Amino acid sequence: MCYHADMGHYKGRVIEIRLDAGGNQEALIACPQEAIPQAGQYLHVSDLDDPEEVLGVALFLTEKSVYGFWAAPGIPNLWRPGMNLSLVGPLGHGFELPREVQRLGLVALGETVSRLMPLIGQLGQPHSGVTLFTDLPLPRMPALLEAYPLASLLEALEWPDFLAIDLPIEKLTELRNMLGLSEGSRLTCSAQALVTTSMPCVGLAQCGACAVPARRGWKLACEDGPVFDLHQLKW
Amino acid sequence: MPKHDLTIDPALMNAAGSLGFSPDLHSPIDWSRLGAFVTNPVSLTARTPARGRRFIEFPGGFLLHTGYPNPGITRVVRHYAKHWHHSPVPVLVHLLAGSAEELRMMTRRLEMVEGVSGLEVGVDSDTSVELVKALTQAACGEYPVIVRLPMERAVELATEAMNSGATAISLAPPRGRYPTGNGELVKGRMYGPAILPVALRAVHELYQMSIPVIGAGGVYAQEQAAAILAEGALAVQLDSIFWCRAGYSVFA
């Protein structure tokens, strides 16, 4: 289980809703600093004003704010500013970017690039660079960031010394082809993947709904992930 | 818990598959509100997760198709028995078997384990009356046995289960199918408030038949649990309410 004695239960409030470049909703959530998830971790969020809500949602960081944080898309359509929220977490394992990384490759295969954006500010080395590979509409671009279509990823694979991938679980089996790797061959750089999938039990039940095929059996995105070292997974 | 005695006080417990293999004392669950803990389904050998899409929401609930993944009874006992022994509430182990022989082997294995207070036997929605009888008989021994029947067939199967030695009947989520956006159908167990009317009817009919029943399905509020108890249930099993607000909302 991923629950720990120091895991928090907080109250929050939706302050603002905005659209990302692809038209997906992001929400500014006011909350205590200790509730803010790291890049790739998630918060389990429920609508306190809706007693009939069946399940909450998992929200990821896209940008910190003085009020709390901007949550990446995955925001329910009915959410509005002023809503009161129950926040549980932060939960799961997020990205762990090694300090020595100088050339960071971001690969967005899901419906948004937002979940990868917090990594840009985590590069510790001077003169480091970030390249985003995606076919999605581009976000407001920090000066550090260059962007290329996914088709160019294959040619550029020698460049990054670390790859961070936003990976919907249904694309796991396509990943090898996308990276142009034959069976048994490996990436030359370290890589971590944020595997996005439904996590209905949020780690309370080990229900198996978010199971991810791994080199040894399977792992649960809700408690073993949702960020995995790519070499742990069967892909 | 003495042989074949089943007292669940308070009359609330979790349903199999809703809170894992042992009570997690670090989780937000207030264990003093529960009268028993039911483990995730455990099979004789390991089961892997179901392939394909495992979750889809529909108005009033959601559908879940997990395959009840578990590492098999030997590893479950090795890993969790110490937690069962120190559990703040009685532990019932939920067993999943395709045959009476499998169930007999698991039951024997558990009779040597401290901290187990009873068994719950899972029955698939297409199980024959004969197999229900055989499974129930195979599970009967040192522990009280709850037979979890498919909600939609509980009235049909309950009498045979009770005549075969069951202590009580509980209700498994009904199964259903739901279309995805691309025209495929996802099949699985149904959860959510939409299930409550079906659960209430099943409890009512079983109580009328003098069957001891533990109600389950679609309970998201205290008054809904009270309604199931008022229909004659011995206790109420809660399922996905634990996952809403990650366990903080259990009738808070």
**DSSP notation for A110-177:** SS-SGGGGGGGGG--STT-EEEEEESSPP-PPPTTEEEE-GGGHHHHTTS-SEEEEEEEGGGGGGHHH
Give yes or no for residue B246 having a pLDDT over 80.
no
Quick one: A153 and A227 in the same domain?
A: yes
Total domains present in chain A: 2
What is the residue range of A87's domain? 8-91
Under a CB-based contact definition with an 8 Å cutoff, are residues B34 and B11 in contact?
A: no
A78, A173, A201, A216: best to mutate for the B interface, most B CBs within 10 A: A201
> What pLDDT does B232 receive?
96
Are residues B243 and A205, on separate chains, in Cβ contact within 8 Å?
A: yes
| 70-89 of B, contacting A, C-beta below 8 A | none
pLDDT one-digit tens code per residue, B31-53: 999 999 999 999 999 999 998 88
- The reply to whether A3 falls in a domain is no
Q: Which of A44, A63, A91 is the last residue of a domain?
A: A91
Give the span between the Cα atoms of B170 and B146, in whole angstroms. Answer: 6
Quick one: A83 and A108 in the same domain?
A: no
Quick one: A80 and A154 in the same domain?
A: no
Quick one: A220 and A114 in the same domain?
A: yes
Beta bridge partners of B186: B178
Percent of chain B with pLDDT over 90: 84
Say which CATH topology domain B12-247 has. TIM Barrel (3.20.20)
Are residues A200 and B61, on separate chains, in Cβ contact within 8 Å?
A: no
Quick one: A44 and A86 in the same domain?
A: yes
> What pLDDT does A158 receive?
85
Q: Helices marked H in chain A — which ranges?
A: 153-156, 175-178
Beta bridge partners of B197: none
pLDDT one-digit tens code per residue, A18-58: 998 888 999 999 999 999 999 999 999 998 888 778 888 99
Q: How would you write the pLDDT of chain A (235 residues) with one tens digit per residue? A: 445 445 688 999 999 999 988 889 999 999 999 999 999 999 999 988 887 788 889 999 999 999 999 999 999 988 999 999 999 999 999 999 998 899 999 999 999 999 999 998 888 777 788 999 999 988 777 777 889 999 888 888 889 999 999 999 989 888 888 887 777 677 888 999 999 999 999 888 999 999 999 988 899 999 999 999 998 888 8
In one-letter notation, the amino acid at residue B237 is: Q
pLDDT one-digit tens code per residue, A23-32: 899 999 999 9
Q: Which of A91, A118, A140 is the last residue of a domain?
A: A91
Task: Give chain B positions within 8 Å (CB) of A217.
Answer: 48
B117 touches chain A (CB under 8 A): no
Q: How many CB atoms lie within 10 A of CB A122?
A: 15
CATH code at position A32: 2.40.30.10
Q: Which residue has the higher pLDDT, B122 or B244?
A: B122
How many residue pairs bridge chain A and chain B with CB atoms within 8 Å of each other? Answer: 111
Residues 6+ apart with CB under 8 A from A129: A102, A103, A104, A144, A146
Give the span between the Cα atoms of B60 and B156, in whole angstroms. Answer: 27
- The reply to whether A50 falls in a domain is yes
User: Complex ipTM above 0.85?
Assistant: yes
A2, A3, A44: best to mutate for the B interface, most B CBs within 10 A: A3
Give the span between the Cα atoms of A177 and A129, in whole angstroms. Answer: 26
> What pLDDT does B3 receive?
44
B17 touches chain A (CB under 8 A): yes
- The reply to whether A97 falls in a domain is no
The token pair at A70 is: 């901007």
Quick one: A156 and A84 in the same domain?
A: no
Quick one: A76 and A123 in the same domain?
A: no
CATH code at position A196: 3.40.50
Quick one: A133 and A188 in the same domain?
A: yes
Quick one: A55 and A110 in the same domain?
A: no
- The reply to whether A121 falls in a domain is yes
Nearest to B51 by CA among A169, A125, A98: A169
> What pLDDT does B5 receive?
66
Closest approach of B196 to chain A, Cα-based (Å): 13
B10 touches chain A (CB under 8 A): no
Are residues A200 and B24, on separate chains, in Cβ contact within 8 Å?
A: no
Quick one: A107 and A25 in the same domain?
A: no
Torsion angle (degrees, nearest 10) of CA B210, B213, B217, B222: 100
- The reply to whether A1 falls in a domain is no
